[in-house]
Structure 1
């Protein structure tokens, strides 16, 4: 399929990709409008999973399904519904998240308008980029199911399960009245300071492997998705941002950092170990 045919053909990857981006923008705009009277830009987090899942469903519907894309979409829908419900329930009635309040303060005056670009459209574009493996997997002339699909599906499913278990453990911990400066260091949190993020990372690498199995090396561009998600989780909105000043606010967390892996689950270090 040459470039001209890809642009003009209604079922082309180019047309499907453009439609996916448009869908993300159409989710972002009303969510932004809702956030203005609420003075709560963190409502963007509640639709983050929709920014990924909506274009994924569009690609599969537009370009056709097969067992691989159905498995990919099924696993991702479970992730999306659970995460959306979890974040909405967690944040309900608590106002704007601290990270967004700080962003609001840094970008005054006029944050209500600026947030359209700084928060909502930015997350729409990022979500669209994360959805790219579904586009690659739904491309014409895709390969049959292979060992890489099995590996990817298992990795993705384990990632979704790990994230769900870690979030449930954290929610249970938060429901108990805090005793001093206590830190959650049991369950999955004994082996990683961010097991929920690690689980999500596994999800997107699993999905990326399945896309590679479908499209081969010509679909290597689909790995933008897990690479981007890994960078976001480690360096941007995940580990780095959450731990920026937590040691100052919660001294017990410094000891937790000293003995516990930041991301990849690993047996905790003993006190006094180098």
Structure 2
């Protein structure tokens, strides 16, 4: 029987190459963002169908599908009709005629590799172990908290941005009052929750590398750090918001001096 890790590596490779070709045709590398969540859905269901029919558990692919499709549909809706994201546009300006190759390696191949690593707990899970279901309950509750933070946070921000008078203003209400990035915190909870559920489904402990990589990306690289850099330049009031509000983990706002 084919190893799920190898099969999923092939699935992710085909997906990312297809999106890359699409990005060349439409001259917009931003389309990759809308397929991020969908890629994990493919991995989860590929693993499910490769598992012995007597041992299959539908819980993990269902949880992954709810998270992944919501994220992909939201990003597709948010980015529809917009020009290429500034991250990719600056890369295109810098590399010119070589952008097709640079984007393949540094955007599509890299995202595919990260997707494969982050999903290691899903790929190595099989049947739910007999005995206590405590880990499953804890994991699903953490996943649910993550879904709520991510979904509600995205909705609140989209609603705020839809009001013309809010252009250049800082959202500091709702979940955004307690964390500057409720959607990223939600993503964090989702993947740690899934990892805990995966442990009860036979995933080895070493696959903790998956949620660790996701956490590092969210807090130090492509998530909080990258976004904050641009927000501080674009919004004059953002420094005051930073002083009063936690960057990642939710907490009561600090009193302004």
> TM-score range, shorter-chain basis?
over 0.9
1:270 matches 2:231: no
1:257 matches 2:239: no
Residues in 2 aligned to 1:38 and 1:21: alpha-carbon distance in whole angstroms: 26
1:221 matches 2:206: yes
1:23 matches 2:11: yes
Q: Which residue of 1 aligns with 2:108?
A: 120
Structure 1 contact 72–153 (Cα < 8 Å) conserved:
no
**Structure 1 position 179, deviation (Å):** 4.0
Residues in 1 aligned to 2:43 and 2:110: alpha-carbon distance in whole angstroms: 15
- Superposed counterparts of 1:2-41, under 5 Å: 10=1, 15-41=3-29
Q: Which moved more, 1:175-184 or 1:61-70?
A: 61-70
**Structure 1 position 51, deviation (Å):** 2.1
**Structure 1 position 214, deviation (Å):** 2.8
- Superposed counterparts of 1:105-254, under 5 Å: 105-138=93-126, 143-144=129-130, 146-179=133-166, 181-215=168-202, 219-254=204-239
Q: Which moved more, 1:258-267 or 1:107-116?
A: 107-116
Residues in 2 aligned to 1:162 and 1:180: alpha-carbon distance in whole angstroms: 23
What per-residue deviation string (whole Å, max 9, x for no partner) do you get for residues 35-60 of structure 1?
A: 11322111110111122221121111
**Structure 1 position 215, deviation (Å):** 2.6
Residues in 1 aligned to 2:158 and 2:41: alpha-carbon distance in whole angstroms: 24
Q: CA RMSD in A?
A: 1.9
Residues in 1 aligned to 2:191 and 2:122: alpha-carbon distance in whole angstroms: 11
Residues in 2 aligned to 1:271 and 1:124: alpha-carbon distance in whole angstroms: 43
- Superposed counterparts of 1:3-82, under 5 Å: 10=1, 15-64=3-52, 69-82=57-70
Aligned residues: 256
Q: Which runs of 5+ in 1 are unaligned?
A: 1-9
**Structure 1 position 63, deviation (Å):** 1.3
Give the structure-2-normalised TM-score. 0.93
Q: Which runs of 5+ in 2 are unaligned?
A: none
**SS of structure 2 residue aligned to 1:108:** helix
**Structure 1 position 68, deviation (Å):** 8.5
Give the structure-1-normalised TM-score. 0.88
Residues in 2 aligned to 1:66 and 1:207: alpha-carbon distance in whole angstroms: 22
Runs of 4+ in 1 over 4 A off after TM superposition: 65-68
